[in-house]
Homo-oligomer: A and B are copies of this chain.
Amino acid sequence: MTTVDLNADMGESFGPWKMGDDAALLRVVTSANIACGGHAGDADVMAATMRMAHENGVGIGAHPGFMDLAGFGRNRMAVPRGTLRNQIRYQVAASVGMARSVGAEVRHLKLHGALANMASEDEGLARDLYEAALSVAPDLIVMVLAATAQERAVKSLGCKWAGEIFADRPYNDDATLVDRSKPGAVIHDASTAAARMVEMVKAGAIITESGKHIPTRIDTICLHGDTTEAVQIATAVRKGLQDGGVTLAKFGGSV
């Protein structure tokens, strides 16, 4: 039986400002990456999103990023390493305790935005940040961008992890994503996206644009839900995977 997890970012509203349709998305995914108040989210949003995820049987993940609300954690910042580690601790800690207070539990960690991009290029950074998160919650399953420096970091740490691929982004032969500036860099057709995912999950490999197979552990597929269209695509990808014989379930997070 081929099984995979579906994950999406959520809990990214802030104060009076809404982002995404988390309620709809929670009916699609099996794991939710919930913002921790660093790049998005506030105490109300975290509590409500975690409660909703828990009620839907969706796994809860901490989703920390640069502490830059105005920039939504999308700008690279040269924050000193020790400070960055403490900021990860702070955000993960807030998530873990907030989850407990609503009767739920944080199962996994996924880095957000520019910080995730930097960690996918720099194994030392990734390891430092994961270690900081694990110092707060040693049983966290670390979600990594498959076949990047993030994956090398979890392997060298020996912690539980889950490998992630993107539903809507084609890959280069070195396992990086095709640059957004190129034509076809984002797949907008749900059936195409679903078919690719079925193929990759069954192959146990990233299949690049050129057709090359890069064997890797595929535990979870990243979906987007920040727009109404995105939720529709996510729903269609889910159906496509099920129709293709793939079982959807929370990842286990083996070492």
Partner of A70, one of B14, B70, B74, B102: B14
Residues from chain B with a CB closer than 8 A to the CB of A175 are none
Q: Which stretch, A37-45, A161-169, A189-197, A229-237, touches the partner chain B?
A: A37-45
Query: What is the bound-complex CA distance between A96 and B13, given in angstroms?
Result: 25
A165 to chain B, nearest CB (A): 25
Q: Is the CB of B90 within 8 A of A136?
A: no
Nearest-neighbour CB distance to chain B for A195, whole angstroms, equals 31
Complex alpha-carbon distance, A20 and B72, angstroms: 19
Per the 8 Å Cβ criterion, residues 85-107 of A in contact with B are 86-87, 89-90, 92-98, 100-102
On chain B, the residues within 8 Å of A87 by CB distance are: 43
A67 cross-chain contacts in B, Cβ below 8 A: 70
Stretch of A75-83, A121-129, A148-156 at the chain-chain interface: A75-83
Q: In the complex, are the beta carbons of A75 and B78 less than 8 A apart? A: yes
Q: Which residues of B contact A94 (CB under 8 A)?
A: 90, 93-94, 97
Complexed CA–CA distance, A136 and B93 (Å): 11
For residue A137, CB closer than 8 A to chain B, the reply is yes
- Chain B residues, Cβ within 8 Å of A14: 14, 17, 70
**B98 A93 Cβ-Cβ under 8 A:** yes
Q: List residues of chain A with CB under 8 Å of any chain B CB.
A: 13-19, 37, 40, 42-44, 46-47, 67-72, 74-80, 82-83, 86-87, 89-90, 92-98, 100-102, 114, 132, 135-137
Show 13 residue pairs from A and B whose CB-CB distance is below 8 angstroms, ordered by the A residue.
A16-B40, A42-B86, A43-B90, A44-B86, A47-B86, A75-B78, A76-B78, A77-B78, A90-B98, A94-B94, A94-B97, A96-B97, A97-B137
